[in-house]
Amino acid sequence: SGIKEPTDINALCDEYLRLAYHGMRAKDKSFNAKTETSFDTSIGKVNVIPQEIGRVLINLLNNAFYAVNEKAKLAPTSYEPRVTVRTRKVGNRNEIQVEDNGNGIPKEILAKIFQPFFTTKPTGQGSGLGLSLAYDIIKTHGGEIKAGSNGTEGSEFVICLPV
């Protein structure tokens, strides 16, 4: 509807984590990853457009599952793909963290990932618009989205939304 409404962010994160995971499994039956959650119950309901925040979450989670799957193809058998979603209340903002233990994002690329049409995926597998749209959606909600990676071992995206 495009209208902000009180939304249970923890339930939204949990729902989209499962949706992204099963979507990946539907595309690739051999795909497997451990999913972990840590939800701060003190957050309560947050005034957001749930469909829009859902779009951001599905994009971040699809990227995370893609990253761990790509690493799993090249890594030794001891590698255990993992995607974690956390929520927490920090002062006057709520944070949603999406973390993976994939290959990470090289420093020279990290500065470009929110630019429209920027992608590292092979032709036909990514439009380069997902993170750009996520950035715009979070900005319209009065929040911010940050990405972090040491360049070789996993990445983390943090969404900060005002209380």
What are the pLDDT digits (tens) for 120-161?
776 667 666 789 999 999 999 999 999 998 777 899 999 999
Put simply, whether the predicted model's pTM sits higher than 0.85 gets the answer yes
* HEC-encoded secondary structure of the chain: CCCCEEEEHHHHHHHHHHHHHHHHHHHCCCCCCEEEEECCHHHCEEEECHHHHHHHHHHHHHHHHHHHHHHHHHCCCCCCCEEEEEEEEECCEEEEEEEECCCCCCHHHHCCCCCCCCCCCCCCCCCCCHHHHHHHHHHHCCCEEEEEECCCCCEEEEEEEEC
> Average pLDDT in the 68-78 region?
87
Q: Which two tokens stand for residue 158?
A: 């943090």
From residue 99, give the alpha-carbon distance in Å to each of 4, 18, 32.
26, 15, 16
**Alpha-carbon span 97 to 104, nearest angstrom:** 15
> Average pLDDT in the 72-82 region?
88
> Average pLDDT in the 102-127 region?
81
Which pLDDT score is estimated for 117? 79
User: Amino acid letter at 49?
Assistant: I
Which pLDDT score is estimated for 135? 94
Which pLDDT score is estimated for 126? 67
| 82-90/34-38 β-pairing | parallel
CA-atom Rg of the chain in angstroms: 15
Query: Over 80: is that where the pLDDT of 10 sits?
Result: yes
What are the pLDDT digits (tens) for 21-68?
999 999 999 999 999 999 999 998 999 999 999 999 999 999 999 999
Task: Tell me, rounded to whole angstroms, the distance of Cα 97 from its chain centroid.
Answer: 7
